[in-house]
Structure 1
């Protein structure tokens, strides 16, 4: 069952063809991991969503407090018998119908849907994982590119390219020819004792897991964090590369072209991440 504006329904076809999220991509979403009724990193998800809605000039209802949306998520999990399980929650916000490119309203609606997941905490995936650059189209670095909107044409075409070329993932490049992110997460490089990730000004998604790992890395005296542009040349010189998102956690990359990588730092950070979740 889904939750549409607080009403639980078994009808998965409640949206009309005039829905602005469908017609114009005038929508945002958060992908959230929930373990036994505990919403991981909920505060970060909530404030990112609220900030994104303001950037898109959506009207945020007074009722949309962190407590209200949390309760709606838990209600949806409960009716789907997922409260004591591990689940993937998708919280979508779209501007209400009306207008063409120019909306006739700033009011919004929300939809919450859930799917089961198998792992409670984050596990290191040691399977072979190969990536390459996707250079058919580029990310335009701006505030809009850091938002999690329904405009994901670049990620879709890139994912098809990856499948056609037997790749596990692709790295997206911005118009300045800097590596920005992967198709489904943020990118980190390790070189010696330096851990580097692209800055938001390069156009990467303001990832929730990215934020968690940045905070963890800052507590490790043996490593230095850099938020700076990454060139394709640097990728071939790195000791390690990994991709992050809230569902997988940390995905080590095994190979980029002729370069192979270790995963020692990814393993360390994953342990720290799971400790943080247990204590949080």
Structure 2
């Protein structure tokens, strides 16, 4: 199977099955590689894509490490697209690398709101990163309303996710996140973060069915995106939120990888 690194391949992403999975590197070394790899394999299986026998963890580790070394970047995010080339019907890859000073630290605050005009499904394809009209609609709506993202509801009018990632709602010492069966993304980045929180900070993690109005009752909220990281939610509608605890947790989480 071919590995395609040219930006010209972007136009082919409109055809056939395609999935996107983010990999992360810090100090020129991959972190969370195993979690991201297994998410990639699971996503490809859900999309019924052919998976070459050569697609091992070692293969992707060497591929991404070589691409990062070639660009001489220290830290960043590798967006890896796996897609079925229309003519050959074979799986190919496209890699896009974004350099960032801090992969895991807290990113810029965001302003969001609930989008009620459409809903997202709760089946297995809603849990993976693949092009869908709901995300396109959400991105346009957010831009037109000067928002950074929107909260998407499922057909039961409960929170599924945002267009770019998942929501985390903090009250006292409990973080609530929407269940995957509610339409939330499977997220290696979020899983790593909440597992670390549960172990190191003794924060209770609760996967739940969450109504849209419950965001107004949260003490702090964050949007975690595999593509861009952890963003504190600063405002929903007319209510503003602080993010002191998420800010400290993000710093400690990032430091734990440096210590490791």
TM-score (norm 1): 0.84
The structure with more radius of gyration: 1
> Is the aligned partner of 1:212 residue 2:192?
yes
Q: Is the 8 A contact 1:216 1:272 kept in 2?
A: no
In the alignment, which residue of structure 1 is the partner of 2:7? Answer: 12
Which consecutive residues of structure 2, in runs of 5 or more, have no partner in the other structure? none
Between Structure 1 and Structure 2, which shows a larger proportion of helix residues? 2
In the alignment, which residue of structure 2 is the partner of 1:62? Answer: 53
1:189 deviates by 0.2
Q: Is the 8 A contact 2:4 2:93 kept in 1?
A: no
Runs of 4+ off more than 4 Å: none
> Is the aligned partner of 1:132 residue 2:121?
no
Q: Is the 8 A contact 2:78 2:95 kept in 1?
A: yes
Q: Is the 8 A contact 1:191 1:238 kept in 2?
A: yes
> Is the aligned partner of 1:148 residue 2:139?
no
> Is the aligned partner of 1:38 residue 2:18?
no
Q: Give the one of 90, 93, 103 matched to 2:82.
A: 93
Q: Is the 8 A contact 2:9 2:94 kept in 1?
A: no
CA distance in 2, matches of 1:97, 1:88: 27
1:259 deviates by 2.0
Which secondary structure state, in structure 1, belongs to the residue aligned with residue 7 of structure 2?
coil
In the alignment, which residue of structure 2 is the partner of 1:22? Answer: 14
> Is the aligned partner of 1:274 residue 2:257?
no
In the alignment, which residue of structure 2 is the partner of 1:120? Answer: 102
CA distance in 2, matches of 1:208, 1:174: 22
1:14 deviates by 5.1
In the alignment, which residue of structure 1 is the partner of 2:210? Answer: 230
Q: Give the one of 110, 113, 136 matched to 2:93.
A: 110
CA distance in 2, matches of 1:47, 1:204: 18
In the alignment, which residue of structure 2 is the partner of 1:177? Answer: 157
Which consecutive residues of structure 1, in runs of 5 or more, have no partner in the other structure? 99-103
CA distance in 1, matches of 2:4, 2:83: 16
Equivalenced residue count is 260
CA distance change for structure 1 residues 7 and 203 in 2, over 3 Å: closer, same or farther? closer
